[in-house]
Amino acid sequence: MRILWISVLIVVLDQATKIAVVRTMHRGESIPVVGDWLQFTFTENPGMAFGMQLFTRESMAVLAIVVTVLLFWYLFTVRGGYTPYLASLALVFGGAVGNVIDRTFYGLILGYGDFLQGKVVDFIHVDAWRGYLPEALPLVGGAYLPLFPIWNVADMSIVVGVVGLLVFQRRFHELAFEEPKRDRKRLRELEKEREEAQNAPGGGAEPVSGPASEPGTTATQASPASDDVPPRAPSAENTGPAAAEAAAESEGNGTPGEAFAPPEESAASAESSEPSADDKAAGNDRSPSAEDSPSAEEEERA
């Protein structure tokens, strides 16, 4: 899935900034960036968001791994869905993987714990607000509360991803569930209309498509140009004017077969009528003429 490249980018950026902080800063050190409003403060969070620690570090690490695996499974399940929604999921998944690496390996890497006993490295310090809470609030009214969240790139990615999920989830569910449902309903309506058209009187025959047929005609016989039609013998109707004249002449002469004499016999008769080479040499290449034939008087004398 190409959308996972967003998660990979988040993980690389998160781990790169954490490694830079661990190597260049001391725990508790603060570097002003934009006055007192934005600082880089190196802290470690062993618990959940805002430092809440409800379970042991090992339990928190296992829980984070389970949630991350479930996120990946859900992302894989909806991988063909609405792209902005998938991008938001990829942001959440990348941030989750970044913090899981801290909880799983940083105890061993930094030398303060075992496997699954790591703490999440936070360093982006935003001093958003400091002041007293309203007196009308139960239990905490009138208390002084400084809001200075310290987080990291993974936390920021999770927050942005959750906001994206809230914004794009409606469109995602429309494309994933509502529109396919409407398409299936429309398909059933079309199938019902087609069945009604087929059951109607005269609705069983379908018109023949193609240039050789007119609209409304049905397929009753094969086309003359089709291969299924056997070839017919030449006749006076389909051999042209010359063949028709030859057939009429042969019928008048009583020799109906001469009009369609084989080419071999015609060639043989032509060769027999020609004088041979010996006759030409002897001077007998003259064809019979009126001078050579006996006259009527000679026949009477004979």
List active site positions. 122, 155
- In Å, what is the CA distance from 31 to each residue of 24, 39, 123? 11, 5, 10
For the chain, give the secondary structure using H, E and C: CCCHHHHHHHHHHHHHHHHHHHHHCCCCCEEEEECCCEEEEEEEECCCHHHCCCCCHHHHHHHHHHHHHHHHHHHHHCCCCCHHHHHHHHHHHHHHHHHHHHHHHHHHHHCCCCCCCCCEEEEEEECCEEEECCCCCCCCCCCEEEECCEECHHHHHHHHHHHHHHHHHHHHHHHHHHHHHHHHHHHHHHHHHHHHHHHCCCCCCCCCCCCCCCCCCCCCCCCCCCCCCCCCCCCCCCCHHHHHHHHHHHHHHCCCCHHHCCHHHHHHHHHHHCCCHHHHHCCCCCCCCCCCCCCHHHHHHC
- Other beta carbons within 10 Å of 226: 8
Give the C-alpha separation, 123 to 291, whole Å: 137
Question: Distance between CA atoms of 170 and 86, rounded to whole angstroms?
Answer: 13
Supply the Cα-derived Rg of the chain in whole angstroms: 51
User: Which of 47, 189, 37 is closest to 118 using CA atoms?
Assistant: 47
